[in-house]
Amino acid sequence: MKRKHKRLTFVLIAMALVGVATGLVLYALSDGISLFHSPTDIVEKQPKETQRLRLGGLVVEDSVRREDGSPVVMFGVTDMENTVQVSYNGLLPDLFREGQGIVAEGRYVNGVFVASEVLAKHDENYMAPEVAESLKKSGNWKPEDAGAPAGTKVPAQ
């Protein structure tokens, strides 16, 4: 084999190995990636039960329900277009309120978002950029929503 052919063979094998390594890394990381979705995205796309997601929106007024003697909390999250029911087993953040923006991380199982973590906005002037963008897309964005005080009415759907 000529030197030129050996070099070409070596380069092709090296590129193939780099491609395989990149593919394996991306596959390994795919389980750890959780993408942000609005309630409308989840209702329309019906993600796989194994897919980790972040759900963002506003907690629906008068939707928070606690099971007797259990730390399980059920509540609705809306983007003013669709509502997704959320089940969370644990203590909610101190800033969790009806009508406030939240981001929940978990999986969508049998029509209910089973959250493993719930994050509430950290001050009255903050709204997650993804939540604000979702509200803007649905035509329900009001700049004053970003600083809405606790107890602001969010219509039930």
Domain ranges for the chain, please list them: 1-30, 35-147
Task: Give rounded-to-5 percent helix, strand, coil for the chain.
Answer: 30, 30, 40
**Confidence category of residue 73, pLDDT binned at 50, 70, 90:** very high
Count other C-beta atoms under 10 Å from residue 19's C-beta: 10
- Tell me the per-residue pLDDT of 130-157, one tens digit each, with 9 for 90 and over: 667 777 777 766 655 444 444 444 444 4
- Summarize the confidence of residues 56-73 as an average pLDDT: 89
**pLDDT at residue 88 greater than cutoff 90:** yes
- What does pTM read for this prediction? 0.62
DSSP 8-state code for residue 90: S
Q: Looking at residue 132, what is its pLDDT?
A: 72
Residue identified by tokens 């035509």 is 139
- Tell me the per-residue pLDDT of 25-62, one tens digit each, with 9 for 90 and over: 888 876 666 667 889 989 998 888 888 889 988 999 99
Q: Looking at residue 22, what is its pLDDT?
A: 94
**Confidence category of residue 68, pLDDT binned at 50, 70, 90:** confident
Contacts of 6 (CB under 8 A, 6+ apart): none
Give dist(CA 16, CA 70) in Å, integer: 54
CATH superfamily of 35-147: Nucleic acid-binding proteins (2.40.50.140)
- Summarize the confidence of residues 61-87 as an average pLDDT: 90
